[in-house]
Structure 1
Amino acid sequence: MTEEPDKPAREIGERARRLKAARDDPGPSPLRGVGTFGMIGWSIAVPTVGGAFLGLWLDRVVPQGFSWTIALILGGVVLGALISWIWMRKEGGGE
């Protein structure tokens, strides 16, 4: 029944290393997925709605043979998809 004198200190050190490892790499989380969907949704929605409002204004101020609204909605979708793609590559580390 001889106990090593440094055993409690080693156990505390090992526990601290495990806690630090868990904090540094939390692993997959369902809430992180929800946050990712939210970020992607806003990244696409904001430029699209902004394009729609700008297009409506341009249709009234500078009428053309085409619809500014439709053109800028499509442009907003493309811009939003590009922003989302860049953000996903950065977050996912897929470089």
Structure 2
Amino acid sequence: MAKNNRPKNKSLSNIVGDKEERKLQAQRSNKSVWAGLGLFGLVGWSIAVPTILGAAFGIWLDKNFDQDFSWTLSLLLMGLILGCLIAWNWVRKEDKEIHNTNKDGNE
């Protein structure tokens, strides 16, 4: 048996009107496929840049300071973790912004 997802105090015409308004608002926002690809690029660069900088600094430390462990691998891993945290934070912020525009949570 199918569940009725409508709130009890809203009529069918109000629900349809709300959905149509959200659809029109989404069309007006001018977000395209290119915007989505740009977001993927931003996430990729936010991971790649700290990882490469960590590896480069680690190579410099390995050349100038002799240690029993590899600075390159350590800082590469730290840069990767930092980049993933930055990307996660960015995606979380974008998701929150998208869900804030959709006030009642229905699609």
Report the TM-score, using the length of structure 2 for normalisation: 0.62
More helix by share: 1
1:54 is the counterpart of 2:57: yes
Partner-residue secondary structure (3-state), 1:56: helix
Please state if 1:72 is matched with 2:75: yes
Q: Alignment partner of 2:40: what SS?
A: helix
Which residue of 2 is the match for residue 88 of structure 1? 91
Structure 1 unaligned spans of 5+: 1-17
User: When the two structures are aligned, how many residues end up with a matched partner?
Assistant: 76
Which structure would you say has the larger Rg?
A: 1
Gaps of 5+ in 2: 1-20, 101-107
Matched, 1:32 2:35: yes
- Which consecutive segments of 4 or more residues in structure 1 shift more than 2 A? 21-25
1:29 Cα offset (Å): 2.3
TM-score (norm 1): 0.69
